[in-house]
Structure 1
Amino acid sequence: MFGVRRQKTPAPVGAKPVAESAGAVAPSANLPIRAETRQDRSRTAYFSKGQFLARQDRWDMLGRLIAETDRTRATTPSGEALAAVLAVGARDDAVRHARSAIQSTDCPVPMGVEALTEIAEEHPESWAIHLVAARAQMDCAWAYEGQIDPYALPFAPSDAFMARFDVASELIARAEELCPTSAEVAAAKCDLLAAVPEAGDLVDALHRDVIAADPTNPGRLRNYGVHLLPRWFGSYSDLSQTSADLGAEMAADWGESAYAWMWFDALRLDPEAGAVLDAEYFVAGLHSILDRTSDAHLANLIAAYVDGMKPAAAPDDLSPDAMKARRLIHAALPDLTERHLTELHPQVWARADALPGATHAGPLSSGRIAAATAQAKSAVDAAVAARALAADQGIARRA
C-alpha cells in the first residue's frame, strides 16, 4: 500500500547482510538528486490519507487502515511507523488549530481536540480511533507547556497539561483493552509517562514492551534512548549502561546497530551525553546499519546525521570528552559517504533533525527542499575534499 512493501515477518534493519556490491560508488557533487523518493512519497501518502479520511468523517475506514498498518508493522527504513503517520494526518487539522489557539494555560481546550474524543466515544470498538484522540490530547497538553515537538519534561507541569494527559490515559487504556498487541498503543503508553510521578521506575519495562511488540523497528530503540536522557526519565549513566546491555542482548539480530540506534537521537538532542558515549562502538554501529542494507534512504539519513556532528556546530560549553566523541563521529563522514552514498535525498536531509513521528510528517516546502539540497551537496564536497587530503598526506608520508 502506498509504495511500502509489507511482510508478515519483516527483516530488521540489522538482521542479515545484503550481498556486497561490486564496488563502492565514489561520492561527488554530481551525485544524482532524488527530490522525492519512494519513502518520501509513502510518508506523504499515508499522512494525506489519514488527513483525508478524517476530513471526510470516514472514521470506520480510517480505524481499519490504522489497525491493519499497525498489524503489519509497516515503517520507513529509519523507523517511522506508518500507522503513526496515518494518525498524525488524522489529527493534524485539530492539533494545528489547538497550537495556534492555546496562548496560556487558562485557555479552554480547543473544540477540535474535544471533538476527536467524542468521535472515539462514538466508535467504542475502534482502538485506532481512541489512539488518534489520545494522541491529540497529548499534543494539546504539550501546547499548554509551549512545546511543539516535546524536548524535555516540564519543570512544573500545569493543571491543563495534567488534565489532557488524564484524558489521554483513559483513551489509551480503552485502546489497550481492544488491542493489547498493538505496537502503537505500547508506544503511546511510553509517552504517557510524561505525566506519571516517579515514571523512571516504569521506563525500562514499557520500552521493552514496545521493542518486543515491534522488534524490527529501529524507531523504538531511538525513542528508548531519548527517554533515558536526564531531561526525561534517566541519566547519562542509565543511557550508557542500558544501551550497552541492550546492544549486547540484540547483537545476534542487529550486530552493532542496536547500540547506534539507541544513541542516535539522544546524542543529537543532548550533545553533552557524548561524554559517556563509546564513540568507536557508535561509529561501528553506523557502518553496521549501512553494511546490512543497500537502502539509499538510510545512507542519506546517516550521512546527514554525521555531517551535523561537525565540531563547529557544537555548543560552546561542551566538555572535552563530549567534543572528542563528536569529532570522531564527524571524521567518519568521508568513509561513510564513499562506501554508501550513491544518490542524494534532500527530503531526508531536511528531516534529519526530527524524531520519528515529529510534527512535519507531511509534505515539505520547495524552499526547505532546496536548502536541504544545498546542505547535502556542501557536506558531500567537504567529505570528498577530506578524503583527498587524507590520501595526499598518506602518499607524502610514504614518500
Structure 2
Amino acid sequence: MATRLVRPARDLAHRIGKIARRAGRTEARAAALEQAALPLSARLHVPVLAEAPEVSIWRDMAGAYAAQAARGDWAALLGALVAADQSRSAAPGGRRLATLAAEGARAALTQAIAARDMAGAEAELARLEQMAAAQGDGYGAALIVAQAHLELGLARRSVAAEGGPGHVPWQGYLSHVAMAEAVLDPFDPIAENSPLLAATRYQLLRGLEDGERLCRDWYEDWSDLDPTCPEPHAAHGPHLLPMWYGSLEGFDAEARAAARRTEDVAGGAAYAVLNMAAAEVLGELPPGADHGLYLSGLLDYFHATGCQYRANIAAGAMAALGRTLTEEAPGSLRQRMVMEVLADHLTDNLREFHLPAWKGGTDLIHWALGEIFSQALARGDLIHLGSEGIEARPVET
C-alpha cells in the first residue's frame, strides 16, 4: 500500500518540477526579449567617461607647476622642467612631464588668452621675458618665452581672422614667430639633448619662409631625441599633406620611413600616429594607407604604456575605420580584418570608454559593440566588464 502511494507522489513531484523549469525558462526568455528591446545604452554596464583620468592627472600636474610660477619659484620650476626633459620622463598616458611643466609656466598667459584679454596676455609675456633675463643662459627659460610668443601669435591670428575683410590675420603671428625664433636661436636641440627644445623649434615652421625646407630635418631631430614619444608624429602628420609641405601620393612612403626609423623602440606606432593625425585633417585616412600596418601600429602605440587613455584612442581609430569599411566594402577582407582586431582589442584591453577618443561619441561606441556582440545582444545579453575585458553576459534571473 505504501509503495503504491509513494510512486504517484514521486511522479507528481517530477511533473511539478518540469512545470517549474518550463516556467523558469519561459520567464528567462521573456526577460531576455525584454532586454533585447532596450537600447544599448541601457544594457551597457561598462564605465563611459567624459574625460580620460589621465587628462585630469595632466591638468593637476600642470596646475602644480602653474602654482610655482605664480609664486615666482622659477628656479625650482625650470630645474624640474630641464630634468624631466633630459630624462624623457612621462606622466600616465605617456605625456612628457617637461611639456606639462612648460604649460604650467605659461598658465597665466593661457588663461588671459582664453578670457580674450590680450592686454593681460601681453603683460604675462613681458613677465616671462623678465624672468628669462633674470635666470641666466639656460634653455629652459628661453623655450618658455618662445612658446609664449607662439601661443600669443596664434591667438592674435585667430582674433584678426574673426575681424573679417581688412584685417591681416598673419601679420601679428609672423612677428611673434620671428621673436620666438630669435629667442631659440642660441640653442641647438641636439647639443642640448632637449626634445622640448626641438618641439618648440618645430612649432616655428608655419611662420618661416623656408618652413618646407626645414620641416623634415626638424621633425627628424625631434623624433630622434625622443623616439618613443608620439608627439613628433602627431605634429608632423598634417605637414605631410598638400596644404603644407607634402602630397597625398607621397604620404604613405614618408609614414613608412618614420616607422622604420623608430621601429626598434616603438614598433609601428609612428605609422599609426602619422595617419591618425592626417585623418584628423582629411576626415579619413590618407588614400593608400596600409590597413594592416595601421592596425599593428595602433596596437604598438597602446602597448607602449598599456593605459586606458591609449587603449581608447586605438579603439576609437579602429572603430572609425571599421565603420567606414562596413559602409563602403561590407564583407571585404579588409573590413573583416579591422573588425576582428577591434574585437580582440575591446575584449582583451579595454576597461572603460573615454568619449573624447571616439570621434562619433556614444554613437560610434554603440555601433562597435553592436557589431562585435550582435548575436549576444540579439539574445538579450548585457555588456559587462569581465576579468579579461569587455564581454557579453546573459541576463540574471
After TM superposition, the score normalised by the length of structure 2 is 0.69
Cα deviation for residue 39 of structure 1 reads 3.3
Cα deviation for residue 326 of structure 1 reads 11
CA distance in 2, matches of 1:392, 1:164: 56
CA distance in 2, matches of 1:164, 1:334: 48
Deviant stretches of 4+, over 6 Å: 33-38, 324-330, 390-393
Matched, 1:344 2:352: yes
Q: Which is worse superposed, 92-101 or 32-41?
A: 32-41
CA distance in 1, matches of 2:334, 2:94: 23
Q: What is the aligned partner in structure 1 of residue 343 from structure 2? A: 334
1:55 paired residue among 64, 70, 83: 70
Q: Which has the larger radius of gyration?
A: 2
Could you list the per-position Cα deviations for residues 73-101 of structure 1 after superposition, in whole angstroms to 9, with x for gaps in the alignment? 12246553221111112212113313544
Cα deviation for residue 308 of structure 1 reads 4.8
Q: What is the aligned partner in structure 1 of residue 6 from structure 2? A: none
SS at match of 2:148: helix
Which has the larger helix fraction?
2
Cα deviation for residue 187 of structure 1 reads 0.8
Matched, 1:180 2:192: yes
Cα deviation for residue 271 of structure 1 reads 2.3
Q: What is the aligned partner in structure 2 of residue 19 from structure 1? A: none
Matched, 1:144 2:152: no
Q: What is the aligned partner in structure 1 of residue 388 from structure 2? A: none
> 1:181·1:213 contact (CA, 8 Å) conserved in 2?
yes
1:287 paired residue among 291, 299, 310: 299
Q: What amino acid maps onto 1:339 in structure 2?
A: D
Could you list the per-position Cα deviations for residues 244-280 of structure 1 after superposition, in whole angstroms to 9, with x for gaps in the alignment? 1222343343333331122222212222552232223
Q: What is the aligned partner in structure 1 of residue 371 from structure 2? A: 386
CA distance in 2, matches of 1:197, 1:205: 15
CA distance in 1, matches of 2:338, 2:117: 40
Q: State the aligned residue count.
A: 323
The aligned runs of 1:72-151 (5 Å cut-off) are 72-76=87-91, 79-101=94-116, 110-146=122-158
Cα deviation for residue 297 of structure 1 reads 2.7
Cα deviation for residue 135 of structure 1 reads 0.5
> 1:87·1:132 contact (CA, 8 Å) conserved in 2?
yes
Q: What amino acid maps onto 2:132 in structure 1?
A: A
Change (3 A) 1:97 1:291: closer
> 1:79·1:220 contact (CA, 8 Å) conserved in 2?
no
SS at match of 2:245: coil
Change (3 A) 1:325 1:116: farther
Q: What is the aligned partner in structure 1 of residue 163 from structure 2? A: none
Q: CA RMSD in A?
A: 3.7
Matched, 1:275 2:287: yes
> 2:89·2:96 contact (CA, 8 Å) conserved in 1?
yes
Change (3 A) 1:281 1:167: same
Q: What is the aligned partner in structure 1 of residue 226 from structure 2? A: 214
SS at match of 1:158: helix
Q: What is the aligned partner in structure 1 of residue 44 from structure 2? A: 29
The aligned runs of 1:306-385 (5 Å cut-off) are 306-308=318-320, 331=339, 333-341=342-350, 343-344=351-352, 346=354, 349-350=355-356, 375=361, 379-385=364-370
Matched, 1:230 2:242: yes
Change (3 A) 1:42 1:388: closer
Q: What amino acid maps onto 2:96 in structure 1?
A: A
Q: What is the aligned partner in structure 2 of residue 316 from structure 1? A: none
CA distance in 2, matches of 1:131, 1:243: 28
Residue segments in structure 1 that go unaligned for 5+ positions in a row: 1-27, 149-155, 313-319, 354-371, 394-399
Cα deviation for residue 307 of structure 1 reads 4.1
CA distance in 1, matches of 2:237, 2:338: 20
CA distance in 2, matches of 1:76, 1:86: 11
Structure having greater relative contact order (Cα 8 Å, sep ≥ 6): 1
Q: Which is worse superposed, 163-172 or 383-392?
A: 383-392
Q: What amino acid maps onto 1:29 in structure 2?
A: L
The aligned runs of 1:222-261 (5 Å cut-off) are 222-261=234-273
Q: What is the aligned partner in structure 2 of residue 151 from structure 1? A: none
SS at match of 1:75: coil
Q: What amino acid maps onto 2:66 in structure 1?
A: Q
Cα deviation for residue 41 of structure 1 reads 5.1
CA distance in 2, matches of 1:112, 1:326: 52
1:263 paired residue among 275, 279, 288: 275
Q: Which is worse superposed, 65-74 or 176-185?
A: 176-185
CA distance in 1, matches of 2:190, 2:212: 27
> 1:102·1:144 contact (CA, 8 Å) conserved in 2?
no
Cα deviation for residue 166 of structure 1 reads 1.2
CA distance in 2, matches of 1:328, 1:231: 33
> 1:95·1:113 contact (CA, 8 Å) conserved in 2?
no
> 2:145·2:180 contact (CA, 8 Å) conserved in 1?
yes
> 1:34·1:344 contact (CA, 8 Å) conserved in 2?
yes
SS at match of 1:125: coil
